[in-house]
Amino acid sequence: MSGPRPVRAPRGTELSALGWQQEAALRMLQNNLDPEVAEHPDKLVVYGGTGKAARDWRSFDAMVRTLRTLKQDETMLVQSGRPVGVMQTHEWAPRVLIANSNLVGDWANWEEFRRLEALGLTMYGQMTAGSWIYIGTQGILQGTYETFAAVAAKKFGGTLAGTITLTAGLGGMGGAQPLAVTMNDGVAICIDVDPRAIERRIEHKYLDVRADSLEHALRLAVEARDARRPLSIGLLGNAADLLPRMLAEGAPIDIVTDQTSAHDPLAYLPSGVDFDDMAAYAAKDPAGFTTRARESMATHVEAMVGFMDAGAEVFDYGNSIRGEAQLAGYERAFAFPGFVPAYIRPLFCEGKGPFRWAALSGEASDIHKTDKAILDLFPENESLARWIKMAGERVHFQGLPARICWLGYGERDRAGERFNDMVASGELQAPLAIGRDHLDCGSVASPYRETEAMLDGSDAIADWPLLNAMVNVASGASWVSLHHGGGVGMGRSIHAGQVSVADGTKLAGEKVRRVLTNDPGMGVVRHVDAGYESADAVAAERGVRVPMREG
């Protein structure tokens, strides 16, 4: 019987599959479950609460086996983490097509999902967990860095020096917050109920120190703030208890956000419950746990609103905590905005989003060479250069070495083609897997997050991610995924992903050029359609065809 065991992607140039496209899918699936990468690899959980890479160990074994024998004109179909078929297709078709966690509208809630999951019929794929392009906390680091940079630009004169940010959640994604704040020269207090989450972030150098108590955390924070010295402080405790206490005591907080796993009420620890009892309680009484978690989230959000009323910059960081607090009856839950309308949408209008790549060789030197290529390709982009330099110095690789940076329409294809040339010339030791988060400009419908407060009110229109997936299939991506419920939970999002493999062949070069043009192109057309003038200008300048603008 197959069961939990350590998984690690092979390195080097020896293939265990019939070609690099299949080998890439195989290595990236395995990489998602590498103990250095995944939060709970024994449970196949990669990140984001219960976001999984495979439904169960038998399905994982079957996918590995199938990928090893999959031909260049075949496609493996994956239904919520289980391989369900192999079809003959053609060389331009994706080698893997993935659909995760999708439910019909009226059934799209956690209760029904969990019923089906318990029957072994589905799994939660989050965004990059079930689509095999999670690269550890770095993946979110740059987006988080950009968000805090935007906060600094909006309210604090372009730097977070001299400010204190308060947040909670130091998990797979939330763990990027302390480093993103210190990269912007600020001070961060980061609360988590799990001591291992705090230790892990310190070990990976994302978090500087752990405080012994709330008083200690505040003392350290104020000293660092007054010296305008960047510092991140981990604080053990429940955010639903600590935030109201800090508000009542008048803690000098400038910025408040949150990245606990609020999107899944069974992954948010209710106040009054011991962390060690959490899993057993959630399993025994999910309905009772959910009610208590939502009540605690209402208390947590009420304190966030209190900080906002006291003058702090407060935003929801895409975990649906406002929605959950509202379900518990807190009326002002939506008093503060989500981070996308507040800071990120202008980037989406340019087709910008979290472009990433992983070195299948396993060699850090391959990534360092691609870093140089990016600097060389976009010399005029100062913030990109600052990011690439800082990432090179401060980012600890988890699993296969990888890099992320936000690139837009007309940029991603140039980077992809350059990478493919570098593989072809032998400059890189092996091919690269080039993908992105589902949190991107034209690949997601998520009214509490990426599509919150769209200009034309089209927040819940989910045709866009479906078109995005189809465009990527038609353009030659190596694997394409279509998920439901990532980021913000069941019933609240539909999103698509793609990964393309630059293996140095002419065919890969052609595919990469099309995919990396059309995929961000979806972001431009989506925002043109919604009436954003800046997207319209980008379309006009860079030649993105939008029929309703022609004639």
Q: Which of residues 278-317 bind ligand NAD (CB under 6 A)?
A: 317
Selected from 318, 491, 504, 521, the binder of ligand NAD by CB under 6 A is 318
Query: In angstroms, what is the minimal distance from the CB of 212 to ligand NAD?
Result: 17
Selected from 28, 33, 170, 255, the binder of ligand NAD by CB under 6 A is 170
190, 349, 405, 441: the active-site residue: 405
Q: Are 25 and 67 in contact (CB under 8 A)?
A: yes
Mark 418-437 as b/e (b = at least 16 C-beta within 10 Å): bbbebbbeeebbbbbbbbbb
239 marked among binding-site residues: yes
Residues 462 and 107: their CA atoms lie apart, in Å, by 16
Strands 255-256 and 313-314: parallel
Window contacting ligand NAD (CB under 6 A); options: 20-28, 42-50, 62-70, 182-190: 42-50
Selected from 7, 266, 267, 388, the binder of ligand NAD by CB under 6 A is 267
168 marked among binding-site residues: no
Q: Determine the distance from the C-alpha atom of residue 493 to the mean position of all C-alpha atoms in its chain, rounded to a whole number.
A: 14
Site mask, ligand NAD, residues 444-473, x = CB under 6 A?
-----x------------------------
Structure tokens at 489: 């939970």
Selected from 136, 171, 323, 410, the binder of ligand NAD by CB under 6 A is 171
47 or 464, CB closer to ligand NAD?
47
Selected from 112, 194, 363, 427, the binder of ligand NAD by CB under 6 A is 194
Strands 51-52 and 45-47: antiparallel
Residues 6+ apart with CB under 8 A from 488: 263, 318, 319, 320, 323, 446, 448, 449
CB atoms within 10 A of CB 89: 16
Q: Which of residues 197-226 bind ligand NAD (CB under 6 A)?
A: 197
173 marked among binding-site residues: yes
Residues 60 and 42: their CA atoms lie apart, in Å, by 12
405 is catalytic: yes
Length of the chain counted residue by residue: 551
Query: In angstroms, what is the minimal distance from the CB of 76 to ligand NAD?
Result: 27
Tell me: does residue 140 bind ligand NAD (CB under 6 A).
yes
Q: Are 390 and 183 in contact (CB under 8 A)?
A: yes
Q: Which of residues 402-441 bind ligand NAD (CB under 6 A)?
A: 439
Return the residue matching tokens 């600590």: 242
CA proximity to 419, closest of 439, 403, 395: 403
Window contacting ligand NAD (CB under 6 A); options: 5-13, 234-242, 372-380, 502-510: 234-242
Selected from 21, 79, 182, 238, the binder of ligand NAD by CB under 6 A is 238
Which residues here bind ligand NAD, judged by CB under 6 A? 39, 47-49, 140, 143, 168-174, 191-194, 197, 238-240, 259-263, 267-269, 317-319, 439, 449, 487
Catalytic residue list: 405
